[in-house]
Structure 1
């Protein structure tokens, strides 16, 4: 059987340096899913981009072929004319990119960007194009497709932007879909639904899929064939059953071992005490007024409602939920970046017995002290580090602002913080672009530590990292917390990630906390359908344990579809009740 796409001895390099992709070969047939697996920098994305001829300008294809066979005709895409490639890109071969904010135009609404594919390749009129796009938006999980059509990318969360990218790639029903880390930034329930969607579309249309990922749990649920890459070379290839079931290469074994998994718990945990509180969030509701465009009335969106959380000194409170559930809004309110609606209050206690600080009613002196004591590590370290500042300047700037130490003292402190996060002080002279994603996240952590804070808010600090790097960052955060007696408010969409670092977990859905308990209690006896969906959606690197999409769909669906005990409409959610000591669930009595 003729392969749809065949990559033969592909070699890519930059300048006079050794090749970054060396002699890579694989093929994918119609209706088949092939997974390219490896850590960041292994050459997976460059290999796939070569098929669409969208490599960086300085990249050199030093050898090999990329043959695409359709309609009984085979074309070497590396030698095809640019006119022919324009007819291939987005139509016969579509690609889902990893970073949607860089791939979507900030000047155009999402609906216009996605419908452009249909106007260019299908010659559809505006009305029919909009109908198909809204249908696709609904399939990829937009609760309100019309609102998504009217929105600009910056009005959407990272997960929502990724859904729009997936809709753009799928709307023309291509013959081959190249998915470059399509679910890395998505919450696990959306990830499970998107993986199921890709599989259904593949079955309906006979589409082939090349899945680029570092997560072998995703591979186990999607791929028939697997190619494992490291440092530009193929380490191992074969059927998913053989590669995952009996890996022959040590690198593959390492990737499997690093995959985060929901722990098996034999008994519930003892309830956590709330005696020494460093951060107290009381009755916080936050609403935003969204412009609707034209003559339509503005729309009020409630990002979070009646949130009550307490962070214990020296402990980690994790807030888990899908994109758009209100997690980051809560974190911004906690740090004073957003003001809660009337009735909400956030208080901070710098030390045991210290004077209480009302975060949203601070004097300038209080605010200066609070900003030293509470720091934030952001989800995207590349965006939070200035590309024009060397690491030295980025790390010493917070100390300069707060007038801490002499220039030599600040330089010594910056070097010490680099050692704390496992980096060499010689790296102080470099710029952020010279570091990998995991190293940039370590730099963000080091910058947050320079002021010796007591509380750190971690907003999805590992979501875009390889599983092995993610494991290193979590170990680092645990070590720093124990060494410096730090407190963490840890924002995540992945229960498997917080299982190892959190002392207490609050699960958020649609702006409200639906369940709260220590991790062991939550995994031993989950009660809420959404919590059960989060657990069921966690992919495992075992083809014998696929994701239960039906269970995920029940919990991740609208609150009106939940079992009667948990069901509600609009914002009239039931109260958060204590079902057992330390275990709170939002349900009807």
Structure 2
């Protein structure tokens, strides 16, 4: 195989400070995948951005070379003019960014943004370009490509926005794809399909991939070679079977030790108690009506949530898992009163044991403000939740200021305390959000959510942007806070290993419906529904000998009309949830 990209002795710094990327070297061959692995802030993304010359303005490339071996021979990308780099970006070298909402224009439709790649590089025109974009949308897992083409980014879930970014990166069929956490926001079934898609494109076109990830399961399923980075330096590199099978460096061994895993055996389930729900949803549905792209185009009815019935026990964690667009985040928003359920649904909040119940849909302005002190949310996209013009200190103290709590000194002390809780230094209070890595920004979001001392916390993918070692710390932190303060969590995640660790009960959602519900000890070791089985089969494991079985994933993630007879249904005529055992419910025909 021919080497496509070579990075040699790359050193990047800011001002007079020590380099943040120090003498980094790696290479990737055509048709192969190189995985850059390491903690958040280790210099992985900066090294990749240097190849496209899209570093921050203050960054200095102090030494090194980035050589692209194209059809016209090798060329050092660091020496090219900006005009020539514009021809290379998106055409020969493309990049998938970690935070899709930051990368997509909120003012333009998704289809127009993706088709722009083809128009800029002359790859296709007119209806041919549109057809190519729709085909790419279908390949990345969109079931309704036409609707996605006409949608704006805010109309899509986080995972769907990430799939749109992947489509934008691969629509031009580049020689090299730099994928910076490409599956961070994706559920495991879509992740498995997208990883399979990238492999298929590599086989068809000989495309090389530089994969930046903290998910060792993804590395095991994708990488031909691995480079492990820490604090801007390469710790270990080599063929994937050797690095994953027999790591030599202590840092690499620590990464594997911190990776969350589903336990080999189930623990005993204890269900002999009467549940005390801090939040309970009864017959909750949510329907959206989307206007057409033109006055003569009919409106689209989207049933995001259909007949949800579950509760979050006081001091416990209910995890909601399912693919992107299944209604998980809509449930979370309704649980916080940010969205009202359709008529006939009821969401009851009981702030105190034995106290009065509050109907969220009936709250007035004052009641909603009081409720928000007791219920907070950690959002999926950390960058969009932090004001880029606010320093960390202002961002953290703002909730207390809104609610009129504490003096200026007390608010500052609380901010310092929260930073310590999430593993950040108090000297970060004067910085702006853009000065932090993706994982650090997520920790800031968690600190902000804890500022008011809530009793109920909704966590929407709170660890999806974190590397495995920091993820381990945050999960341990969330568990300690929950146990110390008797907090209750509604925890949304697509990472089943994380869910298996933190959840007391799990609800599996698909297309707005709960298809299976029960304790993790039951769902993960004795699943009944084909979709639950697909989620488990799609979970990547950090073992190169245990690849993802795409056939099982495709069967369970397919249309409900293709499921086995006991679970099959068409349209809106879904079977009811049937009690299969203690605390275990499955949507199936009797």
Superposition TM-score, scaled by structure 1 size: 0.96
Q: Secondary structure at the match of 1:229?
A: strand
Query: Aligned residue for 2:247?
Result: 247
Q: Secondary structure at the match of 1:513?
A: strand
Residues 270-296 of structure 1: CA distance to partner in whole angstroms, max 9, x if unpaired? 337443111110000000111111111
* Greater mean deviation of Cα atoms: 84-93 or 248-257: 84-93
Query: Residues 439 and 5 of structure 1: is their aligned pair in 2 closer, same or farther, counting only changes over 3 Å?
Result: closer
Query: Aligned residue for 1:538?
Result: 539
* Distance in 1, Cα, partners of 2:482 & 2:536: 26
* Distance in 1, Cα, partners of 2:421 & 2:52: 42
Query: Aligned residue for 2:6?
Result: 6
* Greater mean deviation of Cα atoms: 385-394 or 195-204: 385-394
Q: Secondary structure at the match of 1:543?
A: coil
Query: Residues 272 and 21 of structure 1: is their aligned pair in 2 closer, same or farther, counting only changes over 3 Å?
Result: farther
Query: Aligned residue for 2:48?
Result: 48
Whether the aligned pair in 1 keeps the contact of 2:158 and 2:380 (CA below 8 Å) is no
Query: Aligned residue for 2:459?
Result: 458
* Distance in 1, Cα, partners of 2:239 & 2:263: 27
* Distance in 2, Cα, partners of 1:317 & 1:586: 18
* Distance in 2, Cα, partners of 1:116 & 1:400: 44
Query: Aligned residue for 1:572?
Result: 573
Q: Secondary structure at the match of 2:286?
A: strand
Whether the aligned pair in 2 keeps the contact of 1:274 and 1:310 (CA below 8 Å) is no
Query: Residues 312 and 226 of structure 1: is their aligned pair in 2 closer, same or farther, counting only changes over 3 Å?
Result: same
Q: Which runs of 4+ in 1 moved over 6 A?
A: none
* Greater mean deviation of Cα atoms: 534-543 or 101-110: 101-110
Query: Aligned residue for 2:326?
Result: 325
Superposition TM-score, scaled by structure 2 size: 0.95
Whether the aligned pair in 2 keeps the contact of 1:478 and 1:501 (CA below 8 Å) is yes
* Distance in 1, Cα, partners of 2:207 & 2:118: 18
* Distance in 1, Cα, partners of 2:409 & 2:13: 41
1:404 is displaced (CA, Å) by 3.2
* Distance in 1, Cα, partners of 2:76 & 2:364: 67
Whether the aligned pair in 2 keeps the contact of 1:12 and 1:60 (CA below 8 Å) is yes
1:388 is displaced (CA, Å) by 3.4
1:502 is displaced (CA, Å) by 0.7
Query: Residues 96 and 418 of structure 1: is their aligned pair in 2 closer, same or farther, counting only changes over 3 Å?
Result: closer
1:518 is displaced (CA, Å) by 0.5
Q: Secondary structure at the match of 1:4?
A: strand
Query: Aligned residue for 1:399?
Result: 400
Query: Aligned residue for 2:521?
Result: 520
Equivalent pairs counted in the alignment come to 589
Whether the aligned pair in 2 keeps the contact of 1:272 and 1:504 (CA below 8 Å) is no
1:278-293 correspondence to structure 2 within 5 Å: 278-293=278-293
Residues 106-142 of structure 1: CA distance to partner in whole angstroms, max 9, x if unpaired? 2221112212222232452211111111111100000
* Greater mean deviation of Cα atoms: 328-337 or 69-78: 69-78
Query: Residues 399 and 55 of structure 1: is their aligned pair in 2 closer, same or farther, counting only changes over 3 Å?
Result: closer
Query: Aligned residue for 1:316?
Result: 317
Q: Secondary structure at the match of 1:465?
A: coil
Query: Residues 444 and 12 of structure 1: is their aligned pair in 2 closer, same or farther, counting only changes over 3 Å?
Result: closer
Q: Secondary structure at the match of 1:524?
A: coil
* Distance in 2, Cα, partners of 1:261 & 1:35: 20
1:110 aligns with 2:110: yes
Query: Residues 438 and 128 of structure 1: is their aligned pair in 2 closer, same or farther, counting only changes over 3 Å?
Result: closer
1:27-176 correspondence to structure 2 within 5 Å: 27-71=27-71, 73-176=73-176
Query: Residues 363 and 16 of structure 1: is their aligned pair in 2 closer, same or farther, counting only changes over 3 Å?
Result: closer
Query: Residues 359 and 207 of structure 1: is their aligned pair in 2 closer, same or farther, counting only changes over 3 Å?
Result: same
Query: Residues 566 and 259 of structure 1: is their aligned pair in 2 closer, same or farther, counting only changes over 3 Å?
Result: same
* Distance in 1, Cα, partners of 2:401 & 2:244: 51
Indicate the RMSD between aligned Cα atoms, in angstroms.
1.9
1:503-518 correspondence to structure 2 within 5 Å: 503-518=504-519
Query: Residues 385 and 96 of structure 1: is their aligned pair in 2 closer, same or farther, counting only changes over 3 Å?
Result: closer
Q: Secondary structure at the match of 1:55?
A: coil
Whether the aligned pair in 2 keeps the contact of 1:221 and 1:547 (CA below 8 Å) is yes
Q: Secondary structure at the match of 1:24?
A: strand
Q: Secondary structure at the match of 1:531?
A: helix
